[in-house]
């Protein structure tokens, strides 16, 4: 047999086998079918996250091209789960700020294979063609500049938990008054922030936060550290800025401590101050601050130590740097950040500031909880007002702002203002003579409490003879902050006065009213 004459067929067979082996390396063989964009038009705002739905054959790989004059990007991804869909996600902010290429991903469980990007400015305002697998464009992406709408106020009853579902779905629109103890919610419709804010890892959650993160600037630093275990006791608090990168804040010798204490209920305020107990502050050029108090300080696992000091000069280079905070023998590793990414308590220039009329009571950088709803460009900020004592009739302000010293993202702002009032209820009783066993006691009223708050009408005996008694009748606050109740009670003896009032779980919220109980004969 002349094996030389068989070379072409042998080589052909070898190439086929090799091709199948390479295709089988991922467990799938390309079908060669063309992908398409599911939406012919996609609209989004600069700074938000664009979603491009691509239809492919199950398990296929597709290459998506997004282009306009002076910019183009190619994204190659595989339908990993075989559902015939790939969702390309583009953080338009990151395409502008984080280098080339950046900001591109695919929704899980699909697999991003390769991204290439041409152009220095990333995705900015304008219209882009979208094409799949080298075909003619079959979709367009329109990016516009987002706007901030005026903030809207909502409220939740004090008994509710601050969860995403409660805050977004169950909050009741409210006028500008909030009863102390209820939950204040600010709803911000803010286009162009979902790709900007570092909502999963905000700089405001770091153990050390520069009030102004600009490199080289003189500012204040806030330290926040939660207790560990049952209780942590200490007389010495130590802050150590890591010198490994040779980037330390300077002028520590000149620092001025303005706040020191314990936040016992996680509302960002100091509830137990120990600033008057500080007897010694030592600093050195190695980035170490040691603070000594006369008395032993104790913090539980649910409490946070807050410290703020002024006249600190930030390092000259941006970045995230390690640091440690020690409460006595307990050491906590943390981070401090400088530069544009750390600007604002939500990062990248995005900030929510909480304040009251008379003073800046909030020491913690994030004295609230927040939730996002990207599909409708909403940011919700929720604050428990139960710890806001001695500020009745004052205004509470929650202000959302987006600042950027350079780049294409415009500065924007939105604000809400609420007046904090005492929880009260004004009750009106239709009948001052009550035949308790056969007719209802008709009660209506208005209140400052949040809608859906559970309250009780309390009826108590006016005398101690034969024995004192109290009955409670539940009702709930309606959406317009009114309530009503019709009480029929056959356990009450005739010819005695009773006292009627409104109460909540935490106590009375209105004055007592006297009602005389009569029998049928007296009524006739």
CB atoms < 10 A from the CB of 376, how many? 7
Q: 208 with 334: CB under 8 angstroms?
A: yes
Is pLDDT above 90 for 222?
Answer: yes
Structural element, H or E, at residue 208: strand 208-210
335-372: pLDDT as tens digits: 999 999 999 999 999 999 999 887 668 999 999 999 99
Percent of the chain scored above 90 by pLDDT?
72
Position 100 scores a pLDDT of 64
pLDDT level of residue 99 (50, 70, 90 thresholds): low
Distance CA 448, CA 428 (A): 15
Task: Determine contact, residues 305/405, Cβ cutoff 8 Å.
Answer: no
Per-chain mean pLDDT for the chain: 88
Say what the alpha-carbon torsion angle 354, 356, 359, 361 is, to the nearest 10 degrees: -50
- Given a contact cutoff of 8 angstroms between Cβ atoms, the answer to whether 475 and 500 are in contact is no
| Count of CB atoms situated within 10 Å of the CB of 233 | 13
End-to-end CA distance of the chain: 130
pLDDT for position 408: 54
Query: What Cα–Cα distance (Å) separates residue 60 from each residue in 32, 51, 87, 267?
Result: 8, 19, 13, 51
* pLDDT computed for residue 103 by the predictor: 93
Go through the domains of the chain in sequence order and give each one's CATH number.
36-145 (no CATH), 152-421 (no CATH), 425-517 (2.60.40.1930)
* Listed range (61-70, 300-309, 467-476) with the worst mean pLDDT: 467-476
Element (H, E) at 14: helix 7-23
pTM: 0.88
């Amino acid at each position: 047999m002349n094996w030389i004459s068989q070379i072409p067929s042998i080589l052909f067979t070898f190439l086929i086998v090799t091709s199948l082996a390479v295709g089988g390396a991922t467990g799938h063989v390309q079908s060669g079918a063309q992908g398409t964009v599911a939406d012919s038009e996609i609209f989004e705002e600069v700074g938000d996250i664009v979603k491009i739905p691509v239809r492919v054959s199950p398990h296929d790989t597709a290459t998506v091209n997004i282009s306009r004059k002076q910019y183009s990007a190619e994204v190659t991804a595989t339908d990993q789960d075989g559902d015939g869909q790939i969702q390309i996600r583009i953080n338009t902010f990151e395409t502008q700020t984080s280098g080339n290429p950046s900001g591109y991903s695919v929704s899980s469980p699909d697999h991003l294979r390769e991204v290439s990007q041409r152009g220095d400015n990333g995705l900015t305002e304008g219209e882009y063609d979208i094409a799949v697998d080298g075909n003619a464009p079959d979709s367009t992406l329109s990016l516009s500049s987002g706007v901030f709408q005026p903030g809207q106020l909502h409220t939740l009853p004090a008994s509710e938990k601050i969860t995403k579902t409660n805050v977004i779905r169950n909050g009741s629109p409210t006028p500008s008054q909030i009863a102390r103890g209820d939950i204040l919610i600010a709803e911000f419709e803010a286009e162009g922030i979902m790709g900007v804010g570092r909502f999963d890892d905000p700089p405001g959650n770091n153990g050390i936060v520069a009030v102004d993160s600009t490199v080289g600037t003189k500012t204040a630093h806030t330290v926040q550290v939660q207790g560990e275990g049952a209780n942590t006791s200490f007389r010495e608090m130590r802050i150590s800025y890591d010198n490994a990168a040779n980037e330390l804040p300077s002028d520590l010798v000149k620092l001025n401590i303005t706040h020191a204490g314990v936040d016992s209920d996680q509302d960002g305020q100091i509830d137990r101050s120990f600033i008057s107990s500080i007897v010694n502050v030592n600093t050195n050029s190695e980035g170490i601050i040691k603070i000594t108090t006369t008395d032993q300080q104790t913090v539980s696992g649910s409490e946070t130590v807050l410290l703020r000091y002024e006249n600190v000069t930030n390092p000259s280079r941006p970045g995230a740097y390690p640091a440690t905070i020690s409460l006595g023998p307990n050491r906590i590793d943390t981070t401090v950040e400088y530069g544009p990414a750390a600007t604002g308590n939500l990062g990248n220039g995005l900030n929510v500031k909480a304040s009251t009329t008379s003073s800046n009571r909030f020491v913690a950088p994030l004295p609230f909880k927040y939730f996002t709803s990207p599909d409708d460009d909403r940011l919700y900020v929720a604050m428990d007002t139960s710890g806001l004592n001695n500020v009745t009739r004052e205004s509470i302000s929650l202000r959302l702002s987006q600042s950027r010293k350079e780049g294409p993202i415009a500065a924007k702002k939105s604000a809400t203002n609420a007046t904090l009032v005492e929880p009260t209820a004004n009750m009106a009783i239709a009948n001052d003579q009550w035949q308790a066993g056969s007719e209802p006691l008709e009660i209506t009223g208005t209140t400052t409490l949040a809608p859906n708050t559970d309250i009780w009408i309390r009826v108590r005996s006016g005398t101690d003879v034969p024995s004192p008694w109290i009955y409670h009748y539940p009702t709930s606050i309606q959406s317009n902050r009114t309530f009503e109740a019709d009480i029929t009670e056959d356990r009450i003896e005739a010819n005695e006065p009773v006292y009627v009032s409104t109460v909540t779980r935490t106590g009375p919220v209105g004055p007592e009213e006297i009602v005389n109980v009569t029998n049928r004969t007296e009524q006739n």
